[in-house]
Amino acid sequence: MSDPATMEHGSSRAEFHDLYPPYKRFHIETKTAPHRKQIPNPFYPRVRKVGLVKIVLNDFLRYGVKGFRKEYRNAVLSRPCIYGVFDSKVGGLMPRRQYCTGCMRCVLEYPNVCSVDRNPEFARFGDSYWVPDDPSLAFSSPMWVVNYEASTGKIPIKGMGFKGAFAGDEWDSMWTDMSEIVRPTRDGVHGREYISTLVDLGRKPSVVSPGESSEYRVASIPVPILFDFLPGSLANDSVQESIRLAAERIPTIFVDVAGLIAELPKSQLRSFAPLIDEGFGDMEWERLARVAMIEVSEGMFDRVSEDIRESAPGVPVFLRLNLRRGCKDKVAELERVVDGFHLIADFHGREFEVDSPRFVKDALHEIHIGLVELGARNETTLIVGGGIILAEHVPKAIIMGADAVSIDTSLLVALQAEFRGDVRSRRSKNVKHESFSPEWGAQRVVNLVASWHAQLIEVLSAMGMRDVRRLRGDVGRAMFNEDLEKEAFADIDRA
């Protein structure tokens, strides 16, 4: 192929476009991927049978003899539910509970006959992080929301105001900012398409010295969400294959055992981040130069770092660090040795500490600030994972200092894996496996990321921000409950 600088006038259009591909807006293709299994409805409507018989009799009495005429049946048998719960042939005797929206009209009309309770099955469907102990969340609980996103690829929209707690301790202890009238950065709705969510993962030298070999090793992904490694006890073949296919299509990066490198087709190598950890045996080192990035556990780093640099000098290398006290110092010590860090919390977002483990957002922020103080933040990359299960957690993690996030149990929930108790650790045995079509699975994961991407754009757009990279560590774009409480309620006596 010609060099564009020396391309002769009259070169073919195709040739030109090969060198300078026309601008193509990033877009994730969504397609409905219905649930494989019904999620238990958060609501459980009940009808008292005796009461129901009384209602029918009353209605016949109300309309007199006319009521027995076929034409009048519609009025006599007209039932309160507009969502079809009582629309089966036997009506309220066998309510079609899966259609209940919790609207309560049946209760308003027949308070002594109809009742709508919380469905205990729904609470048991996920673990305590996925179905928090707040029944009022119902269709807004993470379990329902992620399933909706995975099946539709859309942004969840509902009427009425927020229904949950005023604030919480974890992600819910902060709100993201918005720009009102006067910010010149504001793009407005029509600028939304041009908001960039691309991030560069790896080492980015702050000074480029022409002539010298620059230490620029990055993998760029168009959306700051990676798929983290899930061990075989949590993810069967269908899950693993779905994740790989989805990563290839979006495209993003998936982390998986390094041994996989020999089996992957070329197209998936570009999305692959081989993990070299204590279970590592060997791999095809010659294919290493083609992967997106390489992840090495702390214990293995000294053993393999030289081989890696030799086999894949241009590929960014990340150190995988389990979050605990002291991580800040470790990062400071190694920030010049590796190209970035993948910080891991448990699936509920807590540090791996027995005593008062901090939440991932606070542990992350400490490390981010440590790098800022060292003057090294812009050269390295922080990816954070563990406890990131809703779209809103992505911008919040980025505000707290991450360049990108990795997701884990959200993938399992999107693929409708069943939780049989708390799934907090990567060694958990509480996930039930089932086989399914990886095509369906890949679409569910693609839909999930598409929905989160759209929601990230909503949040950036509300702030009037054009580039997700500008959000990193910008705590000025967030409001923390603790700070606001101090500022606003300073002069109010405490009980």
Partner 1 sequence: MTELEVKINRMAIEKHVENIRRGLSTLPMLTHGRPGGLGNLRWTADLLLSTYFMASHGRPPSNGLEYRVGRSRGGFDLLDFKVATDHEFINDRGIDLSIVLGRRAPSKSKKIGLPVYGGGMSFGSVSLNFMLSRALAARELDTLTSTGEGGYPIPLREFRDHVIVQVATGMFGVSEETIQLAPIIELKYAQGAKPGLGGHLLADKVTATVAKMRESVEFTSLYSPFPFHSVYSVEDHKKHVDWIKTMNPEALVSVKVSTPRDIDMVAIGSYYAGADIIHLDGAYGGTGAAPEIAKKNIAMPIEYAIPIVHKYLVSEGVRDEVTLIASGGIRTAYDVAKAIALGADGCVIGTAEAVAVGCTHCGNCEKGRGYQIGITTTDPELSAFISPEWGAGRIVNMYEAWKLQWRDLLARLGLNSIEELRGRTDLLIYRK
Per CB under 8 A, contacts with partner 1 among 419-478 are: 455, 458-459, 461-464, 476-477
- Closest distance of CB 403 from partner 1, Å: 20
Binding partner of residue 155 among ligand SF4, partner 1, none, CB cut-off 5 to 8 Å per kind: partner 1
Q: Which does 139 bind (CB under 5 to 8 A by kind): ligand SF4, partner 1, none?
A: partner 1
Q: Does 123 bind partner 1 (CB under 8 A)?
A: no
Residue 47's Cβ-count burial label (10 Å; 0-12, 13-18, 19+) is: buried
Q: How far is the CB of 45 from ligand SF4 (least distance, A)?
A: 4
Instruction: Please pick, from the candidates 170, 177, 362, 467, the single residue that binds partner 1 as defined by CB under 8 A.
Output: 177
Specify the 3-state DSSP secondary structure of 432. strand
| Nearest CB to partner 1, comparing residues 20 and 166 | 166
Site residues for partner 1, 62-121, by CB under 8 A, read 62-63, 71-72, 74-75, 78, 80, 82-83, 101-105, 107-112, 114-118
Under the criterion CB under 6 A, does residue 47 sit at the interface with ligand SF4? no
| Among candidate residues 247, 304, 249, the one with its CA nearest the CA of residue 280 | 304
80 scored as a contact of ligand SF4 (CB under 6 A): yes
Q: 10 Å Cβ neighbour count for 161?
A: 5
Q: Report the alpha-carbon distance of residue 355 to residue 470 in Å, rounded.
A: 35
- Out of partner 1, ligand SF4, none, what residue 1 binds, judged by CB under 5 to 8 A for its kind, is none
Q: Are 135 and 42 in contact (CB under 8 A)?
A: yes
List the beta bridge partners of residue 225. 405
Strand segments, DSSP code E, in 75-124 are: 114-118
User: If you ran DSSP here, which 8-state letter would residue 160 be given?
Assistant: S
Of the listed pieces 176-184, 217-225, 369-377, 400-408, which binds partner 1 according to CB under 8 A?
Answer: 176-184
Which of 111/232 has CB closer to ligand SF4?
111
End-to-end CA, the chain: 76
> Rounded distance, CA 463 to CA 186, Å?
7
State which of residues 67, 102, 135, 259 lies at the interface with ligand SF4 (CB under 6 A).
102
d(CA 142, CA 361): 18
Among the listed ranges 61-69, 80-88, 275-283, 406-414, the one in contact with ligand SF4 (CB under 6 A) is 80-88
Q: What's the min distance (Å) between Cβ of 65 and partner 1? A: 14
User: SS3 for 455?
Assistant: helix
Q: Given the rule CB under 6 A, which of 75-83, 190-198, 292-300, 325-333 is the region that contacts ligand SF4?
A: 75-83
Among 279, 314, 479, 482, binds partner 1 (CB under 8 A): 479
Q: Which two tokens stand for residue 312?
A: 């894949």
**Cβ contacts of 340 within 8 Å, gap of 6 or more:** 201, 202, 203, 293, 316, 317, 318, 319, 380, 381, 382, 383, 403
User: Rounded distance, CA 138 to CA 149, Å?
Assistant: 15
> Which residue, 62 or 303, has its beta carbon nearer to partner 1?
62
**Subset of residues 181 to 220 that bind partner 1, contact rule: CB under 8 A:** 181-182, 184, 186, 188-190
Residue from 7, 56, 76, 104 binding ligand SF4 (CB under 6 A):
104
Among 100, 113, 218, 235, binds ligand SF4 (CB under 6 A): 100
d(CA 340, CA 201): 7
Number of residues engaging partner 1 in binding (CB under 8 A): 89
CA distances, 352 to each of 63, 286, 400, 409 (Å): 69, 35, 19, 17
Q: With CB cut-offs between 5 and 8 Å by kind, which of partner 1, ligand SF4, none does residue 33 bind?
A: none
Site map for ligand SF4, 7-46, x if CB under 6 A?
------------------------------------x-x-
Instruction: Say if CB 407 and CB 147 are below 8 A apart.
Output: no
Tokens 């214990």 label which residue?
A: 299
Virtual CA dihedral for 231, 236, 242, 245, nearest 10 degrees? 60
Chain residues binding ligand SF4 by CB under 6 A are: 43, 45, 80-81, 83, 85, 100-106, 116
